[in-house]
């Protein structure tokens, strides 16, 4: 017996989760760019 | 006094105990003969034998005479190290000390593949709910797709400690099977022309200050956005800071070697305490093992398809070899090696290793972030 409220929750978590990971990675991307800009290797 | 009183163990064995002892022997065989993640599978295999002999003193037993609980060592280790999440977190310190983030500074864009290749986690979680698993168990099963043993253990110990055994076995077995799982999936969804795409080599020196600031900044940002993920990401970054600071070389080496070895021994054999016949010999276990494979397949699918999508917008000559996307999982450096050798098979002069390593490092961060997000999101829906 499938509980569709759980399935819906899983789908919602999946959507938010995937977007969340991309947001985190984009932030880390800009962190790396900024750190690299202000503290370049000499 | 009859024979049964002298040898009660012989009379208490069930067929399920024998199945579990066979599972333990199989894990030991895979660890020694095939060298599939031996550091974890061997302790787990031996532990599976240890806890499936009736009346084992390795687990807490009730004294038939006094009725009092006699503490077993593995039960004590479980309460102290897994239930409190201390063992996986210590492993994260060790892993952090082993990771070199400098390849990411050479091409930070590849971080995004570390996000795309976590697709298998969420797809599998969704599939598990369709098979009837409750949300907290489905999330613990999905996290097998992180391709990261400690993250899987950390999440499962929080949400579904009763499934820790099969989830750990699946996570570590499939990590060892990355060279078998990834190539057919990649070949099925890419053309030869795509697999022949060359990527420019990135030559860049990264400053020590940048490598020191990175783990500190990531920890602060992760803490502000998702505080539930802070233990996971923070311990990883703490280990990395020890490595990069340059003044704690002795501690860095200790974290990479002694700490990693000691905690791995304890972690493996302690997880085995959950591999008792009554918990493991169930249809659920087979479903979890199957869903673990689904998670790895869809991780690869997600990473490769994201690369193909990005290529639509990139000009000719700047396109990404879509095989690189498959390295966005945490199995380091196994996945990078697999993709590099696949590239060489197609074209002997196409060296993808540096890009593959950068993506693979991104996958290590991505898997921990995914674990942190699962820990933050799932309680909101239960």
Residue B144 bridge partners (DSSP): none
- B288 contacts B163 by C-beta, under 8 angstroms: yes
Domain boundaries in chain A? 1-41
Q: Tally the residues of chain A.
A: 42
- Distance, in Å, from the CA atom of B132 to the CA atom of B92, rounded to the nearest integer, reads 32
| ipTM > 0.90 for the complex | yes
Contact list in A for residue B134 (CB cut-off 8 A) is: 6
Tokens 């239960």 identify what position? Answer: B382
Q: Which residues of chain B have pLDDT under 70?
A: none
Please indicate if any CB of chain B lies within 8 Å of the CB of A40: yes
**Beta-carbon contacts below 8 Å between A and B:** 118
Q: What are phi and psi of A36, to 5 degrees?
A: -65, -35
The predicted pLDDT at position B328 comes to: 94
CA–CA min distance B244, chain A (Å): 15
Nearest to B377 by CA among B143, B210, B150: B143
What pLDDT score does B75 carry?
A: 93
User: Is the four-CA dihedral B245, B251, B253, B257 of positive or negative sign?
Assistant: negative
Listed residue (B181, B166, B202) closest to B335, CA to CA: B181
pLDDT, position B19: 94
Q: Which residue has the higher pLDDT, B11 or A9?
A: A9
Q: Tell me, what's the pLDDT at B35?
A: 87
Asked if B334 and B182 count as a contact pair (C-beta separation under 8 A), the reply is no
Residues facing residue B70 across a β-bridge? B61
Q: Which pLDDT belongs to residue B159?
A: 95
The answer to whether the beta carbons of residues B181 and B303 sit under 8 Å apart is no
Query: What is the rounded CA–CA span in Å between residue B8 and residue B75?
Result: 22
Measure A9 CA to nearest chain B CA, in Å.
Answer: 6
Report the residue of B127, B240, B369, B379 to disrupt the A interface, i.e. the one with the largest count of A CBs within 10 Å. B369
CB contact under 8 A, B370 and A32: no
Going by C-alpha positions, the residue among B39, B2, B350 that lies closest to residue B195 is B350
Query: Is the CB of residue B134 less than 8 Å away from at least one CB of chain A?
Result: yes
pLDDT number for residue A42: 76
Phi, psi of B351 (to 5 degrees): -100, 110
| Residues within 8 A of A (CB atoms), B 80-109 only | 104-105, 108-109
Q: Count CB atoms within 10 A of the CB of residue B261.
A: 12
Question: What does pTM read for this prediction?
Answer: 0.90
The per-residue pLDDT for range B38-88, each reduced to its tens digit, is 988 999 999 999 999 999 999 998 888 888 888 999 999 999 998 888 999
**Percentage of chain A surpassing pLDDT 90?**
81
Closest CA to B329 of B373, B287, B298: B298
**pLDDT value at residue A10:** 96
Residue A33: per-residue pLDDT: 94
């Amino acid at each position: 017996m499938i509980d569709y409220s759980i399935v819906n929750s899983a789908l919602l978590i999946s959507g938010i989760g995937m977007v969340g990971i991309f947001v985190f990675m984009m932030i880390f991307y800009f962190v790396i760019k900024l750190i690299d800009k202000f503290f370049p290797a000499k | 006094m009859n024979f049964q009183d002298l040898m009660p163990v012989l009379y208490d064995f069930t067929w399920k105990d024998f199945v579990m002892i066979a599972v333990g022997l199989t894990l030991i065989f895979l660890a020694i003969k095939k060298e599939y993640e031996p550091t974890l599978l061997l302790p787990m295999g031996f532990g599976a034998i240890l806890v499936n002999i009736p009346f084992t003193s390795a687990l807490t037993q009730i004294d038939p005479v006094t009725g009092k609980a006699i503490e077993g060592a593995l039960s004590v280790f479980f309460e102290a190290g897994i239930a409190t999440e201390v063992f996986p977190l210590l492993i994260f310190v060790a892993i952090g000390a082993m990771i070199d983030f400098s390849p990411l500074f050479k091409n930070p864009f590849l971080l995004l593949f570390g996000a795309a290749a976590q697709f298998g986690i969420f797809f599998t979680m969704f599939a598990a709910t369709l098979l009837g698993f409750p949300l907290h168990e489905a999330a613990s099963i999905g996290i097998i797709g992180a391709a990261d043993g400690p993250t899987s253990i950390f999440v499962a110990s929080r949400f579904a400690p009763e499934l820790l055994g099969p989830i750990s076995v699946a996570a570590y077995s499939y990590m060892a099977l990355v060279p078998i799982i990834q190539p057919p999936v990649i070949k099925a969804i890419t053309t030869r022309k795509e697999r022949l795409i060359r990527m420019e080599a990135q030559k860049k020196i990264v400053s020590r200050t940048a490598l020191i600031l990175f783990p500190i900044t990531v920890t602060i940002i992760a803490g502000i956005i998702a505080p539930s993920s802070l233990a996971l990401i923070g311990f990883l970054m703490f280990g990395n800071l020890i490595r990069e600071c340059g003044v704690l070389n002795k501690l860095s080496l200790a974290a990479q070697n002694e700490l990693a070895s000691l905690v791995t021994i304890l972690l493996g054999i302690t997880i085995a305490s959950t591999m008792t016949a009554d918990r493991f010999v169930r249809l659920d276990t087979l479903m979890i093992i199957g869903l673990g494979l689904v998670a790895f397949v869809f991780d690869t699918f997600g990473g490769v398809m994201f690369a193909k999508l990005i290529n639509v917008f990139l000009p000719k000559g700047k396109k990404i070899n879509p095989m690189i996307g498959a390295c966005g999982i945490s199995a380091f450096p196994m996945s990078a090696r697999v993709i590099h050798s696949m590239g060489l098979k197609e074209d002997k002069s196409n060296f993808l290793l540096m890009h593959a390593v950068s993506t693979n490092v991104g996958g290590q961060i991505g898997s921990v972030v995914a674990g942190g997000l699962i820990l933050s999101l799932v309680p909101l829906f239960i």
